[in-house]
Structure 1
Amino acid sequence: MAFLMHGTNTFAPCVNGTRIPAAAPVARRCPVAARAAAAAPGTVNEESLGFKTMRRGIKEAASESILTPRFYTTNFEAMEDMFSLERNPDLPMEEFDAMLSEFKTDYNQTHFVRNNTFKKAAENIQGPNRKIFIEFLERSCTAEFSGFLLYKELGRRLKKTNPVVAEIFTMMSRDEARHAGFLNKAMSDFGLALDLGFLTKNRKYTFFEPKFIFYATYLSEKIGYWRYISIYRHLQRNPDNQLYPLFEYFENWCQDENRHGDFFTALLKSQPQFLDDWKAKLWSRFFCLSVYVTMYLNDHQRSSFYESLGLDTTQFNRHVIIETNKTTARIFPQVPDCEAPIFWERMENLINCNKKLAAIGASEAPAWLKNLQRLPVFERFAKNLLLVFLGPQLDIGSVDFVPEGDAALAF
């Protein structure tokens, strides 16, 4: 799924605690953290950076919050019914067959091959940048691994009712496992890694109904495409900011995200009830805004990472959101008008509220006073969040779409 955003959290209710039964054995396909190297000699260790470890070289996963990537599950029985060839003979199988052929080609089969520049580059990243790189790699790895688990289980569960759609999900889980493993190995360059098998068994899972999975995952994959390609093209123009060789892989990598998003476009087209009424408009706009707001808040909390790459966080975020919104408007029945000035004014209000909440949390005031100080800020945050949702919107969806591919505009 999407870089930093896969498993993008929304402000929707969730049901936690469900586990996906088939995921644990497959996790061995990723370079699991147990094989990761310990911190390189001469570099700062994980304790000095403030990270907690489960054992030597194995990082304790970051605490879950509304802005951290989650693991997802869904109503698999409903998915089986939805894509059953016996019950739904009008499914666009020719399109799915063509997509399966595309996934079987596996364009990136030999792309994710490391070289000897990785460890040396990691050793050269010290001070505050080292910590933010580790945090970036962890969030990215967790997000990609989340996609692997969900897609793997969908591939298993749909095998009998629709073998073609099931195999596409399995091919996508292959891509996500490859991404997660590559990122986890990158973490080991910095002396830490995640135990992905442990996460599979012990992390809580968020439940989404199938249609919500479609909306959220489509957005996650497409926004991931725009993030990858924008960072890649920026660094190609500014090679002095290429601090770590991972980013050189982003051009091909983002095409995986794009293919995944196109598959979810086809899934949505096969289920017109998710696109053709007022409820579809409401949910489409809701998920767009949930993903955009989460990304905007998340990235501005970690603006030092983007600054280390020579990016302006606000400019980068606005570009990615606007381009993702244009892509999404080809299939969703309604999207927010992200180019309206009032939209960005309210998004900035959310950033300011978030900064105030962070400042209150970091103060030395007693807990009761902090809670009292937070109340008016929470009120302003909720008001602006509602205003963002009620703001200008575009009724523009279509079931016809053009794959992004190389037509994507440079950032």
Structure 2
Amino acid sequence: MDATIATPDQAAAKAKEETLLSPRFYTTDFKAMDRIDVSPIRAEWDKMMAEYEGDNNHDHFQRTPEFAQEVAERFSQVTPELRKEFLEFLVSSLTSEFSGCILYNEIQKNIENPDIKALMRFMARDESRHAGFINQSLKDFGLGIDLGSLKRTKKYTYFKPKYIFYATYLSEKIGYARYIAIYRQLERHPDKRFHPIFRWFERWCNDEFRHGESFALIMRANPHLLQGGNLLWVRFFLLAVYATMYVRDHTRPMLHEAMGLHSTEYDYAVFDITTEISKQVFPISLDTDLPAFRAGLDKLFRIQQRIDAAKVRGGLVGRLQQGVAALQGVATFARLYMLPVKRHALPAQVRVAPAW
């Protein structure tokens, strides 16, 4: 097992990692973003923009005087293994939130389309708050990350706008499902809330849900994005987001165990919530109850374990083992991709969050 993150440099190095499981920074085609037309859903769009303008979370991401005291009292009692997993969770979450902040800010600076420009400005504002709030918790441990340096030095991946729509919509929705599931669990079992940041997850997940709905509106205004060959990309991103979450969560079993959750049960509960929400936009969904699907995700996790072990081994043998395992991962992902999907008609109404 890797050592726990102990210095700001180690935290920054973790944030800059480029692996299949680590959050990435993105750039896109600004001219294509400029051409997006939301006029077919103008009434819904204007209503959502009014919600953003109202900014009902403007005072939410501020620490209370009791925050540091609760960290000192509760987190000091956690095991080294849980400390390691939680710090990695904070760094990963910060990187993900800051990734959105950078992307949305760059889009709004490089386009003229007033509808998309306003949306990106609001979303960058929200993600900046989230990242700053997480970074403050890292600073409690002397591990604050220089976000300016991270922006300058981390690699960027180019995504076409439609990939941004599919991937970000799903990431925001699965983020909502993850946060609300954890919040409700710790609401029922407050003794398992080992860090105060979880108290903020309810309203945090409301931001995630609204961000996802913004991309849902863009896709509904441009229905070709949900038809024909584009459904192959929808299918790809559904699988990629679910598989990444499953493998990442199973590399941090202590984190869920400490909250009274089982990683596998938690993940499939989150998949169920996300699937119910995404069915409001996507005409296809993954059948996550298929035994072959569940076996495939388990196999991806075992392959990731072999990749991690090979990295630790190092040398020529280690690199060869990583290569073999990576090919096995690609083959397993391809078999999962070919599994049957569920098809359904889209509802007339959207923006309905399932009860949890």
TM-score under structure 2 length normalisation: 0.91
Give deviations 1:355-383, integer Å, cap 9, x for gaps: 233334434xx723334445654444333
| Percent pairwise identity | 37
2:108 to 155, 158, 165: 155
Matches within 5 A, 1:241-260: 241-260=192-211
Q: Match for residue 305 of structure 1?
A: 255
Matches within 5 A, 1:44-123: 49-54=4-9, 59-62=11-14, 63-83=17-37, 90-123=39-72
**Secondary structure, aligned partner of 1:335:** strand
Asked if structure 2 preserves the Cα contact closer than 8 Å seen for 1:61 and 1:194, the reply is no
**Secondary structure, aligned partner of 2:285:** strand
Amino acid at match of 1:339: D
What CA distance in whole angstroms lies between the structure 2 residues aligned with 1:186 and 1:134? 9
> Structure 1 residue 409 and structure 2 residue 355: aligned?
yes
Q: Match for residue 16 of structure 1?
A: none
Q: Match for residue 283 of structure 1?
A: 233
Deviation for aligned residue 1:403: 1.6
What CA distance in whole angstroms lies between the structure 2 residues aligned with 1:371 and 1:238? 44
**Secondary structure, aligned partner of 2:35:** helix
Deviation for aligned residue 1:213: 0.5
What CA distance in whole angstroms lies between the structure 1 residues aligned with 2:316 and 2:155? 30
Amino acid at match of 2:83: R
> Structure 1 residue 137 and structure 2 residue 87: aligned?
no
1:146 to 91, 95, 99: 99
Deviation for aligned residue 1:328: 1.1
Return 301-310 or 72-81, whichever deviates more.
Answer: 301-310
**Secondary structure, aligned partner of 1:97:** helix
Distance change >3 Å, CA 341–CA 148, structure 1 → 2: same
Q: Match for residue 183 of structure 2?
A: 232
Asked if structure 2 preserves the Cα contact closer than 8 Å seen for 1:97 and 1:164, the reply is no
Q: Match for residue 266 of structure 2?
A: 316
Q: Match for residue 140 of structure 2?
A: 189
Amino acid at match of 1:165: I
Asked if structure 1 preserves the Cα contact closer than 8 Å seen for 2:5 and 2:11, the reply is no
What CA distance in whole angstroms lies between the structure 2 residues aligned with 1:121 and 1:228? 20
Deviation for aligned residue 1:189: 1.1
Matches within 5 A, 1:257-406: 257-277=208-228, 279-363=229-313, 367-374=315-322, 377-396=325-344, 398=346, 400-405=348-353
What CA distance in whole angstroms lies between the structure 2 residues aligned with 1:142 and 1:294? 15
RMSD: 2.1
Deviation for aligned residue 1:50: 4.8
Deviation for aligned residue 1:339: 2.1
Deviation for aligned residue 1:397: 5.1
Deviation for aligned residue 1:285: 0.4
Deviation for aligned residue 1:256: 0.5
* Structure 1, gaps ≥5 residues long: 1-47
Which of the pair has the greater relative contact order for Cα pairs under 8 Å at 6+ separation?
Answer: 1
Q: Match for residue 7 of structure 1?
A: none
Q: How many residues align?
A: 348
What CA distance in whole angstroms lies between the structure 2 residues aligned with 1:110 and 1:51? 31
- Kindly indicate which of the two structures has a greater share of residues assigned to helix: 2
What CA distance in whole angstroms lies between the structure 2 residues aligned with 1:371 and 1:192? 31
Q: Match for residue 29 of structure 1?
A: none
What CA distance in whole angstroms lies between the structure 1 residues aligned with 2:19 and 2:7? 17
